[in-house]
Structure 1
Amino acid sequence: MNTHTSDRPPTRIALVGGGAAAVCLLDRLARTPAPGGGSITVFEPSGNLWRGRAYQHDTDAVLANIIPAEMSARAGDPDDFLRWLRESELPYGQGDYAADGHFPPRRVFGGYLERTAENAIATLSLGGRPVDLVRDAVVAAREAGDEVVLTTSDGRRHTFDYVVCAVGAGRPADHYELGGIPGYFGDPYPLRDTVAAVPRTADVTVLGTGLAAVDAVVSLAAHGHRGRITMASRNGALPAVRQRPVFPEVRRFTPAALHAAAARTADGRIALGDVLDLLAAELAAHGADPSLVLAELFSLAGEAPIDRLRRQYADIDAADPGMRIMQHAVPESGPDAWTLMRSEDQEFIRENHYRAVMSLCCPMPPANARKLLALHEEGRLRVLSGLWNVKPLARDGFHVAADGGEYESDVVVNAVSAPSHRVPAQARPFVDSLVEDGIGEYHPHGGLHVEPSTSRAVGAGRAHRRMHAIGDMGAGTLFFTSGMPSVLERADDIVRALVEDLTTGPDATDHPDATDHAAVPTPFQEQPA
């Protein structure tokens, strides 16, 4: 094992992407001593520095879907965002949970991210670790001995000791090849621009029924749109409605319990049935009926979208706490459960329950559910499943075909999920180069293969200690990657891995076994905030 001392060369770290994940990483690094000091370079060519696509400047109708108490960008300090709201004299996160104004607009959270980044940069600079910003895209990467060389779009080369791929999510796929046709909006964001360009009496079809589609509908309504709106997708699966939160002490469905269960098996993996048993035990311990949670999971296929929405909105304060326990426990322990499960069980969930799990894990705020229901009651909104074709008419407008019938629409707003490969088009040359160099490899279900406990990129049968990936780039391996709690946890893992590597050297980390899912304790100590 190598011994690293304080006279080691300065450590050069690159963050490829300057959105919310980069902010979490900067804040974590700012509170972490670095042997030998060093520098950090952030590559971000877009105009949404620190905000990313999710938290860019947009209309106030685009709400965060996570409660403010769970949106901190600072590991170990869950109240940081709430404290910033109070200090900024902003009213969000107060009053009745279900009332309008409790969930902040996403642009407000973007302001918090900017503040957090600025403070982290100041702390790092004062501590002798300057942060440089490069506004050019990274187009290539290659390993050169113990370094990684990045090439930017202007042809310059930059050399680093560690690189984190934090390029964010991709744009919606144009499944029906409508790009460039008048009346078609290929990307709904920023919605302030999209809704301003849609005639207020137009018949609008929103492709997709997920959170982005909900954003589009409520933004159109807030802008004064008066025409009919149709949400259409293959499955018609609306996000669940987030119930009033509870914060139970989770004792049975914990990462430690899941790892212990896996350790007792011959292959170090845990069966789906064992995961469900632990979850059922947790639910029962809090007085919840596990069968009700299972019924909710299966309701997606057998219940009309608006009926399900209406029932879930009425159940915000349901007597049974099962769904609220789930919404608290699954984000915390779900990533460990997923990476410990056997591949056949993972595939079963992907094929049969992916949409239901995503619906329950990424619920909409009650205020948005209320707005959708009001639009439906007014006869201005419908939700269709079985979407199978959209094509332009010879004249203006579009022909839409779904299980509910065929109809014509003046405007189509594309709010479907990002492409399954989850690599933004502008980042494709960079990510392709990682794969070509053997630093990483594409995961068949999205992004890159990563080592679960460290988020190191996996390529050629090993985890590469100098390359990490965060956010949707790890979706194939980790499944749970969206939302600030997940991003924050991955940022914490990455910084811990960097410190471990700097402290113990490559003998302990550059190993051929990239399948060890157990967390590795590290000699890690934070600086006080």
Structure 2
Amino acid sequence: MRKTDIAVIGGGAACVAFLHHLVTAVDCATAARVRVRIFEPRPRLGPGLAYQGDCAAVLLNRGAQTMSASAHEAGAFAYWLRWKAMNAEDLRPWVASDLGSAYVPRPVFGMFLEDFAVEVRKSALKKGLEVQVVHEEVVAIEKGARFHVQSSEGSITADHVLLAMGSAGSFDAYGLSSAQGYIHNPYPLQPKLPALLKSSNVCIIGTGLTAVDVAVALKKAGYEGRIDMRSRSGRLPCVRGLQVRQHTLQEATRCAVMTLAAKGPGKASLRELLRLLRAELRSEGACWKHLFARHPDAQSRLRSQLTAENQVVPWQLVLASTNEVIEQAWHSLSPVAQHLVLQRFHGDWMCRRAPMPWVNAKLLLDMMDSRQLRILKGGASFTVVPAQGLIACDHLDSETRDHYQTVINATGATRQISSDQDSALLRGLLRDGHAQADWRGGLQVDFATSSLVNAQGVPDPRLRVIGHLTCGTYFFVPSLEMIAKRAQCIAEQIRDDLQRSSAASADYVSEQP
């Protein structure tokens, strides 16, 4: 009997999580009929772009105790750290600390993912599930009775495809891609630091977690020049408090959200959902108004948050617990309500839901106090000045101009998938009608199955998507916890498909004379 081929495009954390849950879900009889081919152009399976080798200044923004690629084993990374530290002296300081509040360098988590992938492949081999890794980039996917997956070196056929490509990258909103001194993607930072240290002034476009990484890495590398971080909102991520316990939902429970969702897709009101969230915050003694309190500037806001050093922040516990219901809550809203959330609340939600480590916040505040770092707010335009080798920035609100030797795009992954800057694979899927952009962000996928929806609005259950490309459908997707949960759902759905297919084949054979 021909094996069922599953092609996974991308070999980062989402891929490893999917493979882990697939191996866990299938029995030996089913596993023996499956072959998984993973397409990953990088030499290592597991780290991907997010957790690749880089400088130690690039930290996870969650405590090590809460990081995992498994939906049912939240402490997997912490277990690995303790085991690895027995023979790796450089990891011992982390193990000696409280792993619940230890912010480990992201490359260390990449090492964990690489080891985790090795163990998952061993488990697959024991069950008879064949796993192949192809270190090539996929450039196109053609659909027919089976998929034809074309890579840079050849093509294979597949029965199922999982797009686990990570994000679509940043968007060059100011058309600076050809300018000297412009860095479109700061990662990995390590090889870029020597040149950056020679620059007298740097402009970082963006004020989110990526921008924080860049500023902190520069400072720790000994940079002494001026740094400006600029965005329309001028909003820094909040500072993460202690993660000593989990909050159990009492008001905004799955049952309560499902009751609202039972009215039908798009029938729940935003007011009803916010009422549940306010009640949930009250259950932890947190004030809704305090959560969204405004400060005159980023510096004073950061200073006020740092006064709560080494304390539990109740509202953070509540927001973290919403991972249980956030997808269903988002899906239950009408398009009008979803548009309102994206326009008015998304930025505030993300800066609170994805906070930065306290150590990074303290360093940023020190840099602001010494006037090495400015956080600038408002619209701007950039102009290349070739004769001087500089990039000029005009501040639209204040009618002032600054000149920079280096401009770094740290806006993070774009939500919109409709640009010629996207990958050849995404452009091809959109051009051929196999996919359509979601106005809320990413590609349009079916909520229940993560199946890619084509130009006619029909989902293909053989072609699924996971990760940032699903941000329009699932709203909050940067968290590895959410990716692992989605990976488990997809793996179990594919297992069910395989078992149904096997049963149908057995019935067909038994009916033959």
- When normalised by structure 2's length, the TM-score is 0.89
Q: Distance in 1 between matches of 2:159 and 2:421?
A: 24
Partner in structure 1 of residue 348 of structure 2: 356
What is the CA RMSD across the aligned residues, in angstroms?
Answer: 2.5
The one-character-per-residue Cα deviations of 1:455-496 (angstroms, maximum 9, x if unpaired) are: 111222332110100111111211111121111111111112
Secondary structure of 1:347 counterpart = helix
Q: Extract unaligned runs of 5+ from structure 2.
A: 86-90, 505-513
Partner in structure 2 of residue 497 of structure 1: 493
The one-character-per-residue Cα deviations of 1:202-225 (angstroms, maximum 9, x if unpaired) are: 111111111111000000001000
Partner in structure 2 of residue 237 of structure 1: 235
Task: Return the offset for 1:243.
Answer: 1.7
Q: Distance in 2 between matches of 1:505 and 1:169?
A: 32
Secondary structure of 2:143 counterpart = strand
Task: Return the offset for 1:75.
Answer: 2.0
The one-character-per-residue Cα deviations of 1:246-294 (angstroms, maximum 9, x if unpaired) are: 312223323332112221x26563211111122222222233333323x
Q: Distance in 2 between matches of 1:322 and 1:186?
A: 35
C-alpha change, 1:141 and 1:507, in structure 2 (3 Å) is farther
Partner in structure 1 of residue 18 of structure 2: 25
Partner in structure 1 of residue 67 of structure 2: 71
Q: Which amino acid aligns with 1:501?
A: D
Do 1:243 and 1:324's aligned partners in 2 also have CA atoms closer than 8 Å? no
Higher deviation after alignment, 266-275 or 19-28 = 266-275
- When normalised by structure 1's length, the TM-score is 0.86
1:262 paired to 2:261: yes
Partner in structure 2 of residue 57 of structure 1: 53
Partner in structure 2 of residue 446 of structure 1: 441
Do 2:11 and 2:40's aligned partners in 1 also have CA atoms closer than 8 Å? yes
Do 1:392 and 1:399's aligned partners in 2 also have CA atoms closer than 8 Å? yes
Partner in structure 2 of residue 152 of structure 1: 151
Do 1:170 and 1:423's aligned partners in 2 also have CA atoms closer than 8 Å? no
Same amino acid, percent of matched pairs:
31
The one-character-per-residue Cα deviations of 1:73-118 (angstroms, maximum 9, x if unpaired) are: 122111111101111112337636898xx20000000000101111
Task: Return the offset for 1:499.
Answer: 1.9
1:374 paired to 2:366: yes
Partner in structure 2 of residue 518 of structure 1: none
- For residue 411 of structure 2, the aligned residue among 397, 416, 419 is 416
Do 2:266 and 2:335's aligned partners in 1 also have CA atoms closer than 8 Å? no
Q: Distance in 1 between matches of 2:238 and 2:100?
A: 14
Task: Return the offset for 1:365.
Answer: 0.7
Task: Return the offset for 1:320.
Answer: 6.6
Secondary structure of 1:244 counterpart = coil
Task: Return the offset for 1:359.
Answer: 0.8
Q: Which amino acid aligns with 1:379?
A: R
C-alpha change, 1:169 and 1:493, in structure 2 (3 Å) is same
1:346 paired to 2:341: no
Q: Distance in 2 between matches of 1:423 and 1:85?
A: 41
Q: Distance in 1 between matches of 2:220 and 2:143?
A: 50
The one-character-per-residue Cα deviations of 1:182-231 (angstroms, maximum 9, x if unpaired) are: 32222111111222112356111111111111000000001000111111
Q: Which amino acid aligns with 1:408?
A: H
Do 2:94 and 2:104's aligned partners in 1 also have CA atoms closer than 8 Å? yes
Secondary structure of 1:501 counterpart = helix
The one-character-per-residue Cα deviations of 1:284-335 (angstroms, maximum 9, x if unpaired) are: 2233333323x34xx3xx5312222222222355687223322x22333222
Q: Extract unaligned runs of 5+ from structure 1.
A: 1-7, 509-529
Secondary structure of 2:94 counterpart = coil
Q: Which amino acid aligns with 2:123?
A: T
Higher deviation after alignment, 88-97 or 8-17 = 88-97
Q: Distance in 2 between matches of 1:104 and 1:423?
A: 35
Partner in structure 1 of residue 249 of structure 2: 250
C-alpha change, 1:500 and 1:436, in structure 2 (3 Å) is farther
Q: Which amino acid aligns with 2:410?
A: A
Q: Distance in 1 between matches of 2:71 and 2:413?
A: 28
Partner in structure 2 of residue 115 of structure 1: 115
Q: Which amino acid aligns with 1:258?
A: V
